[in-house]
Amino acid sequence: MLLFTVRRVLWTVLVMFVITLLVFVIFFKTPGVDPARSLAGRNPSPQVLAEIRQQFGLDRPFPVQYLVMMKKLFITRDLVSYSNQGQRVFPEITAAAPATLSLVFGAAVIWVALAIAMGVAAAVLRGTILDPLLMIIALIGISMPVFWLGEVANLITQSKMHGTPLFSWVPPLGYTPLTQNPGLWFEGLLIPWLTLSVLYVGLYARVLRASLIEIGNEDYVRTARAKGLTEQRVLIRHTLRTSMITFVSLFGLDFGVLVGGGALLTEVVFGIHGVGYLTYQSLSNLDLPVIMATVVYGAFFIVLANTLVDVAYSWLDPRVRIS
């Protein structure tokens, strides 16, 4: 188990290296692009360009350029955004991360709980009208784009029905840090959580139902029944437990993508200044240092999630442990 974990961590480091290298090559070495110009943002003065060339070692060999960039990203963390009056990029991301983490964690709790409830209900109620009904609801959830759903939610809770007691508690758009006001943090995030989780509830409920039904046909589930266990125990300890292997690996990846900035649309729609929002802004301003930093940040979380999934996987499935 220890060896496995160590190997995974080394692997993660290697993957991160390759990703940063790729990102660097794309942003700095694309033919016909002057990296100094892209770093400087719109309409830079010659002095700024010269300063950037010197600072990023753009007149020096490729490996040095890469190392300088990595040093600025990870060690000195003093990469600045030129299009944004010399604002430091790293603090911007660390300031944005709590909002993204709050959004994604909350949504994840909701989507895992609801998806398990729906998936199990559909599998157990197979053969009744409720199973297809639940699956149609899930499909509708999957089909609704998050930006549209978010706008509709805003329309209802912020303007049309904000006057009614049902939604009068909904605070204006934006993010309140948990440390500042937990109540407001929760109220402000509830609608975004629900909006973001709808897609995943639908997706995961369908995946879980299929997996439960498939595993329900396994010989060892029949053995469990032949042992005289209660149906609940067969379902929870045998069918659901084994289904979790698929469920968890799927969850880890989606979670990593979302923490890494994948909740961009939700953040923009609800005005939550998280990493996704930052990415969105930097993309519209062509703010290369921020784009680079958010891409690397995103990649980092996806790779981290991947590693955690693998560790969880080996914990859930003893068959992969010994190999």
Partner 1 sequence: MGEPLLEVRDLRVSFRTDDGLVQAVNGVSFEVSEGETLGIVGESGSGKSVTMMSVMRLITDPNARFDGSVIYKGRDLMKLSKKAIREVRGAEIAMIFQDPMTSLNPVYRVGWQIAEQIRAHEPVSAHAARARAVELLSAVGIPNPEHRVEDYPHQFSGGMRQRVMIALALSCSPSLLIADEPTTALDVTIQAQILRLIKKLREETGSAIVLITHDMGVVADIADRVAVMYAGRLVEQGTKREIFYDPQHPYTWGLLGSIAHLARPRPRRLTAIPGAPPSLLALPGGCAFADRCSSRFDRCAAEFPELISRDGAADGHLDACHLTPALKRERRTAALNGDRT
Q: Which residues bind partner 1 (CB under 8 A)?
A: 126-127, 216, 218-220, 222-231, 233, 237-238, 241-242, 245, 316-319, 322
55 three-class SS? helix
Write down the least CB distance from residue 127 to partner 1, Å. 4
Q: Is the dihedral of CA 262, 263, 268, 274 positive or negative?
A: negative
Write down the least CB distance from residue 307 to partner 1, Å. 21
Quickly count helices (H) and strands (E) in the chain. 15, 2
CB closer to partner 1, 76 vs 128: 128
In the chain the beta strands, taken as DSSP E runs, fall at: 80-81, 87-88
CB closer to partner 1, 71 vs 126: 126
Tell me how crowded residue 95 is: count the other CB atoms within 10 A of its CB: 14
CB closer to partner 1, 135 vs 170: 135
CB closer to partner 1, 124 vs 278: 124
Write down the least CB distance from residue 322 to partner 1, Å. 8
CB closer to partner 1, 29 vs 233: 233
Write down the least CB distance from residue 4 to partner 1, Å. 16
The alpha-helical segments, DSSP class H, found in 173-323 are 182-216, 219-226, 231-233, 241-257, 264-269, 275-285, 288-316, 318-321
Q: For residues 323 and 207, what is the distance between their CA atoms, to the nearest angstrom?
A: 28
Write down the least CB distance from residue 206 to partner 1, Å. 20
Residue 10 φ/ψ region, left for φ over 0, alpha for ψ in the -120 to 50 degree band, beta for the rest: alpha
